[in-house]
Amino acid sequence: MFTTSTSSTHDIPRLRARRGFAMALALGAIVVIGLLIAGVQFTTNQQVVAGRSSAIQEQAFRLAESGLNTSLANWNSGTVRDSTVTAGKPTTILTKSALTLPANTLVDSVNVTATRLNPVLYQVTSTAHVGSGPRNSSTRSVSQLVRLLTAQINILGALTVVGETKIGGSSLINGNDQSPAGWTCDATQPAKAGIAISNANLISTSGCNNMNCISGSPKILETAEASNPDTFFKFGDTSWDQLVAMATLTMTTNPSPAPVVIGTTCNRTVNTNWGDVGRWIPTRPCESYYPIIYYPGDAHLTGGTGQGILLVGGDLSVQGGFKFFGPVIIRGRLQTAGTGGHFNGAVMAANVDLAENSVLGNAVVNYSSCAVASALKNLPAPPIPVRHRAWTEAF
């Protein structure tokens, strides 16, 4: 008899082969680390590009703003004050050559234009382009709305005086509006008085029978405004002191002024040049020059021509053939004799010392709204922003 013996055998499990697992893990880690490094590098590059772009944009903006500020500061030496800006048409008034730029500035161009919106309102736009190429360049524009500083002189007559005034000889005082020959002027305005004074009894005549040397509407205007200091020293936006501060020429001598031209440029640096009162074909350089001429003390003029605004801190004495176009404002008294001079615009003598005014000889005082307006719209002062910081970044 066979006996079968059964025994329980437990199989020892075998480990599965794991060849290459560490290498795969290492490769995966390398890929992940590479992606992280690439991401960091990409982000860094983007930040560098953004930083460079931001710096270029900021530089373009600052240059545009610098061009705007420089053009406004130099307003009077540019074409704007020469009245060549056509209404509604942008006119270039400054380029990058007029700017003092820091070293290594990648400026390509700066261009400032002025567009006249009305006789006193301008839109000034400055555009700057910096760098080159699509990624390393930027263009920025800023724009500002400005108005010209104006003076509103209260002209009561061709001659406005305070205190005793003697009229005589062959002098002529005419309050009827007259445009200077050859000038481009608006329509004539209603007539002013020949003489405006607070008390007509203070006027005496010698050789001017029945006031026949005076014309206007009326011949003599008797008004308290003629003795009001504001009439002589307050002019709307401006005052006597402000006009003095704006003076183009401060005089200590008594020249016979005449236009001074160098080549094709009006020489505005000499005190003998008071502009060109003629209107020529072709146009001459000093026709558009309307200086403010200021005498701190007395002035004694015997010849020459000028245009603009004449301010005299003392007395004004005129003999000979002196001719002036524009307002004449005198703190002291007016005295004319001999040929006596010709004034086209308006003459105002505040006579603060209450000495006698005398308009004698062959003096002529003609009211001219055109001569007055031409001088006042060319005040040598920077324009005023319509409101504080009235600029905007255009793009």
Which residue in this structure is represented by tokens 């420089």?
70
**Same-domain pairing of 97 and 176:** no
In this predicted structure, the answer to whether residue 81 has a pLDDT above a threshold of 80 is: no
Average pLDDT for residues 136-153, to the nearest whole number? 87
Average pLDDT, the chain: 86
Residues 6+ apart with CB under 8 A from 268: 77, 248, 289, 291
Q: Are residues 172 and 305 in the same domain?
A: yes
Q: Do 238 and 321 have their domain in common?
A: yes
Whether 193 maps to a domain, the answer reads: yes
- Do both 87 and 164 map to the same domain? no
Same-domain status, 189 and 64 = no
Is residue 325 in some structural domain? yes
Q: Is residue 20 part of a domain?
A: no
pLDDT band at 316 (very low <50, low <70, confident <90, very high): very high
* AA letter at 153: I
Query: Strands 299-301, 309-312: parallel, antiparallel or unpaired by DSSP?
Result: unpaired
DSSP3 helix / strand / coil % (the chain, rounded to 5): 25, 30, 45
Which candidate, 362, 240, 342, places its Cα nearest to that of 295? 240
Banded pLDDT at 236 (limits 50, 70, 90):
confident
Query: For residue 248, what are its two tokens?
Result: 């183009």
DSSP-assigned letter for residue 284 = P
Q: Tell me: do 69 and 90 sit in the same domain.
A: yes
Q: What is the band of 99 on the pLDDT scale with cuts at 50, 70, 90?
A: confident
The verdict on 139 and 195 lying in the same domain is no
For 296-300, what is the mean pLDDT?
A: 97
Same domain, 169 and 118: no
Q: What is the pLDDT of residues 4-56, one digit of tens each?
A: 555 555 555 565 655 666 777 788 888 888 888 888 777 777 666 666 667 77
Structural domain includes residue 197: yes
Least confidently predicted of 97-106, 163-172, 380-389: 97-106
pLDDT at 135: 65
The answer to the question of residue 22 being in a domain is no
DSSP SS3 for 187: coil
Closest CA to 162 of 370, 357, 363: 357
Q: Do 223 and 178 share a structural domain?
A: yes
Residue 366, CA atoms < 13 Å, CB-side half-sphere: 18
What's the confidence (pLDDT) of residue 37?
85
Structural domain of 182 = 157-376
| Pair (142, 252) in one structural domain | no
Shared domain for 174 and 289, answered yes or no, is yes
Mean pLDDT throughout 368-383? 88
For residues 177 and 170, the model is more confident at 177
Alpha-carbon distance of 49 to 345, in angstroms, equals: 63
The number of domains in the chain is 2
The DSSP code sequence of 309-325 is EEEESS-EEE-SS-EEE
What value, to the nearest 5°, has the Cα angle with vertex 343 and ends 194 and 366? 35
> pTM surpassing 0.85?
no
- Asked if residue 387 has pLDDT above 80, the reply is no
Count of beta carbons in the 10 Å neighbourhood of residue 320: 16
- Better-scored residue on pLDDT, 332 or 341: 332
User: Is 36 part of any domain?
Assistant: no
Query: What does the pLDDT average to over 190-195?
Result: 98
Q: Residue 5: inside a domain, yes or no?
A: no
Q: Is the pLDDT of residue 239 over 70?
A: yes
Q: Are residues 164 and 127 in the same domain?
A: no
The answer to whether residue 264 is domain-embedded is yes
Distance between CA atoms of 294 and 240, rounded to whole angstroms? Answer: 11
